[in-house]
Structure 1
Amino acid sequence: MGAMHRLTAKAVSSLPPGKHADGGGLWIYKRENGAQWVLRFTIHGRRREMGLGSLSLVSLKEAREAASECRKVVHAGMDPIKERTRKRREDARNIHLLKDVAEDAFESRKAELKGDGKAGRWFTPLQLHILPKLGKIPVADLDQKDIRDTLAPIWHAKAETARKALNRLGIVMRHAAALGLEVDLQATEKAKALLGKSRHKAENIPAMPWKDVPAFYQSLSDGSVTHLALRLLILTGVRSSPLRHIHEDQIVGDVWTIPGEAMKGKRDVTPDFRVPLSTEALAVIEEARRHARGGFLFPSQRRGVISDMTMGMFMQRAKLVYRPHGFRSSLRDWIEEQTETPYEVAETVLGHVVGGAVERAYRRTDYLEQRRDVMQKWGKWVTKEGNAPGELK
């Protein structure tokens, strides 16, 4: 191998053009326009030269360290040039940016999300609050401090949004791990610990007192899509999304069947939900048919169905603090205070899951007949056709 370390850092910079040996196969090739470190070695009886970088970027010390590592590879019977190429390819495969992994995770979960995740805007918290700052960071480099710094501005001010963003990010990190990437699966939990307990107190959606519902119902009298949609929302106690997407094909007789994928919950396990329609609800549906487009009872002015903001904005313009979703609470309070409906039936009215998995496996009923009686009484109360509240028991 000959003498080692023949050159000095000071001498390297003043060497004339040509090839100069440092020993051990390390050379510096000097030209008029620059200099290049080169390692000469023999592998499998073949002489090879490997560039180690230019003198402007790699010092003599660094060149010697790189040469030493390469000699170890040669000693192990491998070609350091091929090993370097292999490692670069491997590193390139492992540079998965967070935005790419997040999009892949979303695509993988779409099948189990309501409306392919669009209706519930599963991706939105990531898109708005995570990816603008962290999207171009390799997912393997992401740590709790990055996450903490990103979510800190909204951790207390927009607590629920921040919670969703952190939850979605945790799912993305687990997806990255499933892809075989080296990620810190505890990063989101560590970030949560760094962020501390949120000072924000969750507030229930404002619900109109059930005693005030009849007067509001009567005010919805112009026969417009918005008025009719709100009327049916009140009468059925369903959530906004299935109400807005109600289709004529879903109604048979006095039963409206909401597809399982439109219900809240996991798309692949949520069963269809039957909603008994009161006499008043059937009347509202019949009136809404004149607005129907493509079978949808509540179409928007341009295309599709009315948005989830339509009914809410109407109530805001009416200077009401209550929100459409709150009518579910109005109905539930009315059932509790003015009827003797069993708990299981009352909860099923709202489409809530009652009991554990084993209990549900044996209890196959959806209490349709009992719910039909409850909803008929509710329809009479809302339209002021029934007896006094205390006589509805």
Structure 2
Amino acid sequence: MPAMNRLSARALPSLPPGKHADGAGLWFVKREDGGAQWVLRVTVHGRRREMGLGAYPAVSLADARRKADEARAQVRENLDPIKERERARREASSKLHILSDVAADAFESRKAELKGDGKAGRWFSPLELHILPKLGKVPVSDLDQKDIRDCLAPIWHTKADTARKAMNRLAICMKHAAALGLDVDLQATDKARALLGKQRHEVENIPAMHWQDVPGFYESLSDGTVTHLALRLLILTGVRSLPLRFVHESQLEGEIWTVPREAMKGRKGMTSDFRVPLVPEAMAVIEEARRHSRDGYLFPSIRKGVISDATMSRLMERRGMVERPHGFRSSLRDWLAEATDAPHEVAEACLGHRTDGAVVRAYRRTDFLEQRRVLMGRWAKHVTGQSGVLLKAVGV
């Protein structure tokens, strides 16, 4: 019998790159970059097989030996340990049979595609609020269009946008279940849409303040609180509330705020972070906000983390306003269209919008930073009431 247990746990970190035998087919493979993994060589049905047992140090020497012993035992029973492992994985996946389990697994698999790994919960919340309370314990293989129709009918017309998102998320869950090998009806959501009919309720745009009224509102944000300062910077920069709420000292350098690509909406087609020019008024707001900062975040909440998405909205609600913070992006865009001669692509760039296809963007590398700086400086003058005339962005 070949010698076994040749390696020692203490010696593993100092071994040079290469393959090091522990015995009986177990090998420690050290890479040039310092990483390593365990490999077991066995012969099954006259065919040599190599089976990965995991990466070191996540899998220790003792763990690797235990896994190797289990695999060798399967070989002695004339079983292929690699196929047996795959079969065990399939069986484990098949246990994810009720919708709540499948939905949670689908969410986990998509986290990397979502902003902040989905921590804000917006992707999962339509399912959690409107689907899972009624259908969460139903096996996905039993779900049909009637179940889905009855579940979403109460909100199909009254909360059309929420119902549409819930239906779309459910369709993703059904596809995920099919990928797990479960027997599901992939057309169930489409059939449910047909049963529910066309939605009567049309999605309304977020109410926005007319750009001529913004200076008055901006002036009223004068008490230096986190909420007032956050709204001021939101108005001055034209960014969305998510990157605004999570603005961190590490993102600020000189007169530029670099918003990470993953914090931007529509980031799938973006190849770089988004640079926001900071004009003097914005720099003054940031300097004042630093008095409140915690852990590097400029707009912390009272207890932990940063201010919530609803904090700024509630301030406007308490004042009896129908407008919402996101609407200031529309205010800025209307001002650019009505009060300046800014080219379309530059105006859209002020809001972080993409106006061309991937091929055009691949050749046109500019983000119009300096042109945007001029425009945002003029916007700041309008917002702070320094000029009542319609400004023309000549030369940009």
Q: TM-score range by the shorter chain?
A: 0.7 to 0.9
Question: What is the match of residue 308 of structure 1?
Answer: 309
| Amino acid paired to 1:124 | S
Taking only aligned residues, the RMSD between alpha carbons, in angstroms, comes to 2.0
2:158 counterpart of 1:153: no
Contact 2:329 2:351 (8 Å CA) reproduced: yes
2:144 counterpart of 1:137: no
Alignment TM-score, normalising by the size of structure 1: 0.75
Structure 2 distance, partners of 1:338, 1:95, is 57
Contact 2:211 2:331 (8 Å CA) reproduced: yes
Question: What is the match of residue 289 of structure 1?
Answer: 290
| Amino acid paired to 2:175 | R
| Amino acid paired to 1:182 | D
Range 235-244 or range 345-354, more displaced: 345-354
Question: What is the match of residue 229 of structure 2?
Answer: 228
Structure 1 distance, partners of 2:115, 2:392, is 41
Structure 2 distance, partners of 1:237, 1:296, is 19
CA change 1:116–1:95 in 2 (3 A) is closer
Q: For residue 330 of structure 1, give the secondary structure of its aligned residue in structure 2.
A: helix
Question: What is the match of residue 356 of structure 2?
Answer: 355
Question: What is the match of residue 333 of structure 2?
Answer: 332
2:239 counterpart of 1:241: no
Q: Deviations along 1:319-360, whole A, 9 cap, x unmatched? A: 111100000000000000011111111111111111112111
Q: For residue 281 of structure 1, give the secondary structure of its aligned residue in structure 2.
A: helix
Structure 2 distance, partners of 1:119, 1:90, is 32
Q: For residue 340 of structure 1, give the secondary structure of its aligned residue in structure 2.
A: coil
CA change 1:266–1:389 in 2 (3 A) is closer
Structure 1 distance, partners of 2:343, 2:317, is 35
Alignment TM-score, normalising by the size of structure 2: 0.74
Q: For residue 275 of structure 2, give the secondary structure of its aligned residue in structure 1.
A: strand
State how many pairs are aligned. 306
Q: Deviations along 1:235-270, whole A, 9 cap, x unmatched? A: 000000100110111111110000011111356956
Note the 1:206-217 alignment, pairs <5 A: 206-217=207-218
Q: For residue 208 of structure 2, give the secondary structure of its aligned residue in structure 1.
A: coil
Structure 1 distance, partners of 2:94, 2:345, is 53
CA change 1:137–1:270 in 2 (3 A) is farther
Note the 1:89-104 alignment, pairs <5 A: 93=94, 96-104=97-105
Question: What is the match of residue 274 of structure 1?
Answer: 275
| Amino acid paired to 2:332 | L
Structure 2 distance, partners of 1:231, 1:90, is 55
Shift of 1:386: 3.1
Note the 1:1-393 alignment, pairs <5 A: 93=94, 96-119=97-120, 121-266=122-267, 271-386=272-387, 388-390=389-391
CA change 1:133–1:376 in 2 (3 A) is same
| Amino acid paired to 2:170 | L
CA change 1:248–1:293 in 2 (3 A) is same
CA change 1:177–1:92 in 2 (3 A) is closer
Q: For residue 379 of structure 1, give the secondary structure of its aligned residue in structure 2.
A: helix
Shift of 1:391: 5.8
Shift of 1:94: 6.3
Structure 2 distance, partners of 1:165, 1:92, is 24
Identity of aligned residues (%): 70
CA change 1:262–1:90 in 2 (3 A) is closer
Q: Which 5+ residue runs of structure 1 have no aligned equivalent? A: 1-88
Structure 1 distance, partners of 2:387, 2:278, is 17
Shift of 1:121: 1.6
Q: For residue 258 of structure 2, give the secondary structure of its aligned residue in structure 1.
A: strand
Structure 2 distance, partners of 1:225, 1:244, is 10
| Amino acid paired to 2:103 | A
Structure 1 distance, partners of 2:379, 2:98, is 54
Contact 1:114 1:266 (8 Å CA) reproduced: no
Q: Larger radius of gyration, structure 1 or 2? A: 1
Structure 2 distance, partners of 1:206, 1:353, is 23
Q: Which 5+ residue runs of structure 2 have no aligned equivalent? A: 1-89
Q: For residue 104 of structure 1, give the secondary structure of its aligned residue in structure 2.
A: helix
Q: Where in structure 1 do 4 or more consecutive aligned residues deviate above 4 Å?
A: 89-92, 266-270, 390-393
CA change 1:212–1:337 in 2 (3 A) is same
Structure 2 distance, partners of 1:92, 1:267, is 29
Structure 2 distance, partners of 1:343, 1:259, is 24
Contact 1:261 1:270 (8 Å CA) reproduced: no
Contact 1:234 1:328 (8 Å CA) reproduced: yes
Structure 1 distance, partners of 2:259, 2:391, is 32
CA change 1:190–1:388 in 2 (3 A) is same
Q: Deviations along 1:105-131, whole A, 9 cap, x unmatched? A: 000000110011122521000011111
Shift of 1:91: 12
Question: What is the match of residue 65 of structure 1?
Answer: none
CA change 1:174–1:295 in 2 (3 A) is same
Question: What is the match of residue 73 of structure 1?
Answer: none
CA change 1:346–1:149 in 2 (3 A) is same
Range 328-337 or range 354-363, more displaced: 354-363
Contact 1:125 1:161 (8 Å CA) reproduced: yes
CA change 1:128–1:387 in 2 (3 A) is closer
Contact 1:112 1:266 (8 Å CA) reproduced: no
CA change 1:101–1:268 in 2 (3 A) is farther
